[in-house]
Structure 1
Amino acid sequence: MAIEVTKLEGQPLGATIKLPEGCNDPSKLSAEDFDDLYKALHEHLVVVIPGMEDLSPESQWKLTTRFDPTCDQTGKSYGHGKEFRHDKSVLKKDGTSIPDQPQVQVLGQGSWPAGHHGLGDIELRHPTHFDFHRDPLSQEQAYKQDMTRFYRWHLDSALYGLSPPVATTLLGIHVPPHSKKQKILYEDNNEVLEVTQGATAFISGARAFDLLTPEEQDRALKTVVEYAPHPYIFISPARATSDGLTMVSEGKEMSLDELPPWEDAKVKRLPMVWTNPVTKKHHLQVHGCCIHKLLLPDGTTLELEEARKEVHRMMRPAISPKYVYAHDWSKGDLAIFFNRGVLHSVTGQFSPGEKRLMHQCNIASGKDPQTILDVAA
């Protein structure tokens, strides 16, 4: 019996996966069944396998590496750690690593006693827009009216010296009840998206590309995005726009000579549009918070502030409510998303005493995303 793929009804993307009878570890799928899973991931962009609460960190890591033969398969190099946990990085508080499987990160909210896969007592903090946005909602809006914001739209990647992962796996181990709803208030206060507390929001880069005009698409296909050196440290003093798409340009970023030592050869210059190897669709894939420059096909360079404005203009239509899939977590959900085809965002906030525990894994690829020219060749 092969895997069963069921497209999510009424959603702009996503599917659920039922494993073959007798299989409870997707890392051990046969080659044929894994090929079907690989195809489903690239076609639906986010796939969810329910009932995986007992999946081991080792199996999660092995499954993640199967999606990208070019990534390190030995476990010795996984492409985060030092960069993400640097004292000045905006990511430093977002989780911790499992000692015996450091490729797998523990994320969540609340205090957890010693004993979780070799960890001692841990205190997890769910990222909220209060920590990152220039103009957060009021406490009244957030905790009395149950409003919230997208935290940060992004793709998972160090974006310095390492190539973006192909896939991310995210496992819900302890999740809050489904009953609590929150409303994402858009920055113009004219749009609202209701989500379950702590939902993970996804949008399709292919949809973002399709929403551009033909002229914009042609230019995007030939545009290069230059990211800042050590981008998560570079942006740490700055604050984000209210939709989480990019940063507000107020001159607060760290100067390049204040950053840890960096090399120009490790600065990531990536195509603005990445090509899906299965569907051949074009995906507008830009981490708007970490950009430094846009290198346009006519030879023009848009520097930081103008680059942010241009990316925001291009991406904003794609995060409209009708294009967002907000995953409502259940215990044991294993979400796998095509990191080179979607952007995603944390949503929501938790009250004191509320708890959540998740395992995340993504591995830096051995090569950068393909452009349309690479695929055509």
Structure 2
Amino acid sequence: MPNAPSITITPLETSAGFGASVEGVDLNQLDEQTFKTLERALYIHKLLVIRGQAALHPSSQLALVKRFDPNSAGVHGHGTATQVMEGFKGKKSLVGANPAVPCEPMVRMLGRTVVPVGHFGTEEEVTLRSGSHVGFHKEPLTEAEMLGGETRFQRWHIDAPFYRTHPPKVTSLWSKILPRGPDLTARFDDGSGMTMKVPPGLTAFLDTTRMYESLSDEDKAWVQWSEVEYAPSPYQWIQDAKALGNGFGMVSDGLETPFDELPSNDESLVMRYPLLWTNPLDGSKALQVHHLVVRKLFRKRSADGPEEIIDDVPTLRQILYDLQRPFLIPENILVPSAEEGDLTLWWNRGLRHTAMEYPSEGYGDRLCHQVHVSSSFSSEPPRPS
């Protein structure tokens, strides 16, 4: 398939104001001109659904992601293949539960299906169990509600361990098998009464550049100078804690894992990151803070002003939730349609995303390949805490 001469990029027509569909590309034969076209399009549209990639090889998917960050060591953002497989075998963790594709260990399989022998080198069947809000949300939906077509935003996040490595620049998700069935009703369950219709088994996104632009001048003033510190082993830190019904914040019940019980807790490897991340194409700023796993907020109201250190977790969670929650409305949420064989690629430093659960009966299987790699650098130089 020829690449750049036939490439077509069409913006998605949604109220969310971002995303584009791409046709005329063969990612197994990606030349430099076509990559540069995709790279520019990604930073303009934040998210690309690259159509017609049914024959995509895992090595081509990994190569695409690494081209956005050529100085990266190429290690998956959740760790090595061995670490991921250990997590998959039952270790208590919110990450690391997705096994590697045997022929390309930095590509992960996720979904809900039995992967057959011979799938890119599998030598035995692998049972995938998709994540669920049940067990993570403090007050989850009942089984009857989920079977009746209701769902939740599981966990609004960005892909990053925020420990030892920097957040990936991009994430890619290739759809091999997708569930089919009627749209579901996503409930916010946060007192707002809001709901929205969503296709089954896809991913929802928020544009955090628009989130920042929606802030008041007063909030913009302190956000641009402030930083956050994430917990060491951040997802293990919150593995027993519970989330709000909208998946956008945590309930502060004191259930976080003590730092001395975390698998990795070297304080010298904990970094401070800005709340704002820079788009390398146009310099625009995204309010990209993974507030589910923040343990300290360093708030400054001007460049030369004093720094207020907020390390009371319930307090800082409320500050960050109140700052961002007004943007979480259906009009700002994009659930881009994807077909089997499509690859969804997004700027991980400018979009927040969440998986969307679907009923256990009547919708079929889901199998995807996911790739993001730990970055060689941060958006702005991080500082040791």
TM-score, structure 2 as length reference: 0.90
1:226-276: per-residue Cα shift (whole Å, max 9, x none)?
000000111111111111112211000011111124222211311011111
Instruction: Give the match for residue 69 of structure 1.
Output: 70
1:70, 1:306 → 2: CA distance? Answer: 38
Q: 1:138 to 1:290 in 2, by over 3 A?
A: same
Letter in 1 for 2:373: I
Structure 2, gaps ≥5 residues long: 301-305
Structure 1 residue 301: deviation in Å?
A: 1.7
1:230-249 mapped onto 2 (5 Å cutoff): 230-249=233-252
1:180, 1:334 → 2: CA distance? Answer: 22
Instruction: Give the match for residue 257 of structure 2.
Output: 254
Structure 1 residue 189: deviation in Å?
A: 5.0
- Residue 157 in structure 1 maps to residue 160 in structure 2: yes
2:63, 2:225 → 1: CA distance? Answer: 35
Instruction: Give the match for residue 137 of structure 2.
Output: 133
Of residues 363, 370, 378, the one that matches 1:368 is 378
Instruction: Give the match for residue 61 of structure 2.
Output: 60
Instruction: Give the match for residue 78 of structure 1.
Output: 76
Instruction: Give the match for residue 191 of structure 1.
Output: 194
Instruction: Give the match for residue 46 of structure 1.
Output: 47
1:103, 1:261 → 2: CA distance? Answer: 21
2:264, 2:79 → 1: CA distance? Answer: 17
Letter in 2 for 1:299: E
Letter in 2 for 1:362: H
Structure 1 residue 158: deviation in Å?
A: 1.4
Letter in 2 for 1:306: T
Structure 1 residue 3: deviation in Å?
A: 2.4
Structure 1 residue 336: deviation in Å?
A: 0.3
Q: 1:264 to 1:7 in 2, by over 3 A?
A: same
Instruction: Give the match for residue 374 of structure 1.
Output: none
Structure 1 residue 112: deviation in Å?
A: 2.6
Instruction: Give the match for residue 8 of structure 1.
Output: 12
1:114, 1:81 → 2: CA distance? Answer: 25
- For the residue of structure 1 that corresponds to 2:164, the secondary structure is coil
1:97-120: per-residue Cα shift (whole Å, max 9, x none)?
112211100000022322211222
Contact 2:14-2:334 at 8 Å conserved across structures: no
Structure 1 residue 140: deviation in Å?
A: 2.7
2:330, 2:103 → 1: CA distance? Answer: 40
TM-score, structure 1 as length reference: 0.91
Contact 1:108-1:358 at 8 Å conserved across structures: yes
- For the residue of structure 1 that corresponds to 2:243, the secondary structure is coil
Aligned residues: 362
Moved over 4 A (4+): 82-86
Contact 1:155-1:343 at 8 Å conserved across structures: yes
Contact 1:201-1:344 at 8 Å conserved across structures: yes
Structure 1 residue 33: deviation in Å?
A: 2.3
2:185, 2:369 → 1: CA distance? Answer: 25
1:312, 1:40 → 2: CA distance? Answer: 31
- Residue 299 in structure 1 maps to residue 299 in structure 2: no
1:2-29: per-residue Cα shift (whole Å, max 9, x none)?
522110112421001123xxx522x643
Structure 1 residue 174: deviation in Å?
A: 0.5
Identity %: 33
Q: 1:161 to 1:91 in 2, by over 3 A?
A: same
Contact 2:76-2:371 at 8 Å conserved across structures: no
- For the residue of structure 2 that corresponds to 1:313, the secondary structure is helix
Letter in 1 for 2:329: S
1:188, 1:347 → 2: CA distance? Answer: 20
1:33, 1:288 → 2: CA distance? Answer: 36
